[in-house]
Chains A and B, each alone.
Chain A
Amino acid sequence: MYKPLREEIVSVLVLNQANVLTRVVSMFGRRGFNIDSLTVSPTADPSLSRITIVFSATEQSMQQIITQTEKLEVVKEVVVLSRENSIYRELVLMRIECGLDKLTTLKAIVETFRGKIVDLSRDGIVVELTGTPHKINGFLDAISEYSITHMTRTGITAIEGINDDKGEQE
């Protein structure tokens, strides 16, 4: 009965009130669901916020998570974003150690991944990169020879696409 874990993304529309994040997140925590990443942001309607949660679950526990989340008073809607027809992105900022001699190669990699160099010194650069986790992981792989001294990833934010099959499109 224990099916393999699968990474899922849900988008939770919540009332924009004090403590709402705590209510949602603590429910995940106390029911033993592990959150891989989380983003919170305002929506076009100021009374609502959107929480995008990435977590790993079996199909059965997925149902549990969704129905338990729907039960919270502050939750207006829970949407499971499928890989196939939603668009999801992550932003990463990182400081990469790099002497001037190797800069050209590094720059080429950054450009290939359509990243931006947003700061520069003689010892290294700061890169900003947006994309799917897949692309970001690809970038990290490509620069594995360099030393990353600092890195921060925002976690995934996502939206349902208006056409089918938007999943991995850039």
Chain B
Amino acid sequence: MAEVLLEHGVDVVFGYPGGTALNIYDELYKYSDRITHILTADEQGASFAADGYARATGKTGVVFSTSGPGATNLVTGIATANLDSIPMVAITANVPDALIGKDAFQEVSITGVTLPITKHNFFVNRIENLADALRSAFQIANSGRKGPVLVDITKDVTADTIDFEHADPLPLRAMPEISKDDIQAAARMINVAEKPVMYIGGGVVSSRASDLVVKLAEKADIPVCHTLMAAGVIGYDHELNLGLVGMHGSVASNRAIDQADLIIAIGARFSDRVALNPERWGRKAKILQIDVDKSEINKNVLVDRYCVGDARDFLSRAIDLVEETRHEEWHQRVVGWKLKVRSTRTTEWPLTPYDIMTILCDTAPSDSIYVTDVGQHQMWAAQYLKHRSAKQFITSGGLGTMGYGYGAAIGAQCGNPGNRVIHITGDGSFQMNLNEVVTAETYDLPIITVIMNNGVLGMVYQWQTLFYDKRYSNTVMGRKINYQKVAEGFNIKGYRAKTPEEFQEAIDKALADNCPVWIECVISQEERVLPMIPGGKTVDDMIIN
């Protein structure tokens, strides 16, 4: 197992040991000079770390656990990686084969549990199958649309021996081929469009096609809107970047989709958080869809033409066939929507989410990696951070996993020791998994955690404000936590900020500290994430202020 990991260039893994994993961990001990194992606070944290590592490096995230509770603790992390198409290999130990099916101590059929949330999984109860299963796991996780693969190994296999022959990693499976005709037809659609818009998603990031998206946008004067997964593909300050699209997307993005005559969807899946009303979404436009996964075609929104294949391949070939043009009128209109910037202040509170994001971006090094949790703070981060590249914004999009942030930040930092990693969290999310501070402290990972403390489960609270007549059922927490004291107890540093000046001072200190730091930012519980299009509605129902 360790040799196969080395074949695949794995040098960092995350995990947590236990009874059935003893043999595996004994090998990891022997290989500790070549494979660094990061012990997290729990397996869920390890699974998030493997995911964050994969997103921040583009490599496969590897996570280990013992059987039973160890394996079930991985489930949320695996599901998170699955919905965001992140390459991950989860290796779980199980009870000895002779005890399988007997409800043995810590026996869980984790292949059964993870069946719907993995690309594939393997149950290995014979050592002859071990190397092949692991090699296939890496191949499957990284081929086509990426995703998590689980390999469950019975304990007897981990005690067994076999003659081992080294092999190269299995080649990735060939991407579906896009025909020349399809590329030409797509280019023609782009060439005749008068009001084109690009709608890009995580597929662009995993195919490393950001530069080509920008190139196509510039050549044919096509404004670009992006999903949560594609923040940073096009720089925050690019004139053609319209920002986030969908429920909390910008006015410009949502209007452009509504008014366009051509939508070029690349590596995006028309989710219910984007195409809120699939019947009316892009109602005036022809839709051209490019996706590596054929099952995404026509899944949520019917399209007029599609190419099944790699985004990078499509873009590099289409760009040559696309004419250099300007769409003066459309361009002016779209950029006009963009310039009508709405107020960034929804309360009179001294410190606002906008202040926090702006100060962060203006103070932290430009190559810093931002990792979020889930809630209002996540949306503010998506809207206000000055995104420079896709690998610098890491967030749980598809599953929307609260508690994801700290673990993912640990993974991102392990994969990028030279970059600052800034974890942006809400009080609710942070309280779910703040235990991962022990990992940051132990391994000297200087992660800065910015806790946007509004005292509420803000995102849910916002819905209750807008749609439930302010019946605040279980969203006002009223927890009286002294974060600075707690930080001290964990042997790290804590600061507290109630004004922009205090936050500036805190972030300056945190950057200099070079150790894990928490900065509690006190913000109003009445802050809203705006604009907002309620679920199922259209741009005409957009709440702007």
A and B assemble together: yes
Q: Are A23 and B297 in contact (CB under 8 A)?
A: no
B297 engages A67 (CB within 8 Å): yes
Taking CB atoms, residues of chain B closer than 8 Å to A37 are none
Contact between A30 and B116 (Cβ–Cβ < 8 Å)? Answer: yes
Asked if A147 CB lies within 8 Å of chain B CBs, one says no
Q: CB distance B111 to A1 under 8 Å? A: no
Tell me if A154 counts as interface (CB < 8 A to partner B). no
Pair A22/B295 contact, Cβ less than 8 Å: no
How many chain A residues touch B (Cβ–Cβ < 8 Å)? 17
* A1 touching B302 in the complex, CB below 8 Å, given contacts A64-B295, A67-B295: yes
Shortest distance in angstroms between A118's beta carbon and chain B's nearest beta carbon?
37
B140 within 8 A of A: yes
**Contact indicator B111/A71 (Cβ below 8 Å):** no
A67 and B294 within 8 A (CB): yes
B298–A71 CB distance below 8 A: no
Main SS of the interface on chain B?
Answer: mixed
Q: Are A71 and B293 in contact (CB under 8 A)?
A: yes
Chain A residues whose CB sits within 8 angstroms of the CB of B295 once the complex forms = 64, 67-68, 70-71
A26 touches B115 (CB 8 A): yes
Neighbour of A26 across the interface among B116, B119, B299, CB < 8 A:
B116
Per-residue interface assignment for chain B, residues 300 to 314, with 1 indicating a CB less than 8 Å from any chain A CB and 0 otherwise = 001000000000000
* A-B CB contacts (within 8 Å), total count: 33
Contact of B123 among A18, A26, A30, A73 (CB under 8 A): A18
Q: Is the CB of A73 within 8 A of B111?
A: no
Which chain B positions have C-beta within 8 A of A72?
A: 120
| Cβ–Cβ < 8 Å partners of B7 in chain A | none
- A137 an interface residue at 8 Å Cβ cutoff? no
Which of B115, B120, B295, B302 neighbours the largest number of chain A CB atoms within 10 Å of its CB? B295
Q: Which of A1-22 contact B (CB under 8 A)?
A: 1, 18-19, 22
In angstroms, Cα B293 to Cα A67, docked, is: 9
> B488 an interface residue at 8 Å Cβ cutoff?
no
Q: Which residue of B lies closest to A65 (CB)?
A: B295
**Contact pattern, A 66-96, Cβ under 8 Å of B = 1, otherwise 0:** 0110111100000000000000000000000
A152 interfacial contact with B, CB 8 Å:
no
Give the complex CA separation of A71 and B143 in angstroms: 12
Residues of A within 8 A of B123 (CB): 18-19
Given contacts A68-B295, A71-B293, contact A22 B302 (CB under 8 A): no
Our pick among B111, B299, B302 for the contact of A19 (Cβ within 8 Å) is: B111
- A70 and B302 contact, CB distance less than 8 A: no
- Tell me the minimal C-beta distance from A80 to chain B in angstroms: 15
Nearest residue in A to B117 (C-beta to C-beta)? A30
Q: Which residues of chain B come closer than 8 Å to A43, judged between CB atoms?
A: none
B302 proximity list for chain A (CB < 8 A): 1, 60
CB distance from A69 to the nearest CB of B (A): 9
Residue B501 at the chain A interface, CB threshold 8 Å: no
In the complex, chain B residues whose CB is within 8 Å of the CB of A67: 294-295, 297
How far, in whole Å, are A71 and B296 apart by their CA atoms in the complex?
11
Q: Is the CB of A60 within 8 A of B279?
A: no
Note all chain B residues with C-beta closer than 8 A to A18: 123
CB-based contact B294/A70 at 8 Å = yes
Complex CA distance for A50 and B119, rounded to whole angstroms: 21
A63 at interface, CB cutoff 8 A = yes
How far is the CB of A59 from the nearest CB of chain B, in Å? 10
CB atoms of B298 and A73 under 8 A apart: no
Taking a contact as CB atoms under 8 Å apart, the answer to whether A73 and B119 are in contact is yes
Determine if A63 and B298 form an interchain contact, defined as CB atoms under 8 angstroms apart.
yes
What 0/1 pattern do residues 82 to 115 of B give for CB contact below 8 A with A? Answer: 0000000000000000000000000000011001
Given the complex of chains A and B, what is the CA–CA distance between A71 and B147 in angstroms? 12
- B299-A64 in contact (CB<8A): yes
Residues of B within 8 A of A73 (CB): 119-120, 140
The distance from the CB of A47 to the nearest CB of chain B, in whole angstroms, is: 15
On chain A, the residues within 8 Å of B279 by CB distance are 1
Residues of B within 8 A of A27 (CB): 116
> In the complex, A163→B476 CA distance in Å?
70
User: Shortest beta-carbon distance, A8 to chain B, in Å?
Assistant: 17
CA distance A48 to B302 in the complex (A): 35
Since A18-B123, A71-B294 are in contact, a sample of 16 more A-B pairs with Cβ atoms closer than 8 Å, ordered by chain A residue number, is A1-B302, A19-B111, A19-B115, A19-B123, A22-B112, A23-B115, A27-B116, A30-B116, A60-B298, A64-B295, A64-B298, A64-B299, A67-B295, A70-B294, A73-B120, A73-B140
Chain A residues within CB distance 8 Å of chain B:
1, 18-19, 22-23, 26-27, 30, 60, 63-64, 67-68, 70-73
5 A-B residue pairs with CB within 8 Å: A1-B302, A67-B297, A70-B294, A71-B293, A71-B294
What are the 10 tightest A-B residue pairs by CB atom distance, in nearest-first order? A67-B295, A73-B120, A67-B294, A68-B295, A30-B116, A71-B295, A26-B115, A60-B298, A64-B299, A63-B298
- Using a CB–CB cutoff of 8 Å, the interface residues on chain B facing chain A are 111-112, 115-116, 119-120, 123, 140, 279, 293-295, 297-299, 302
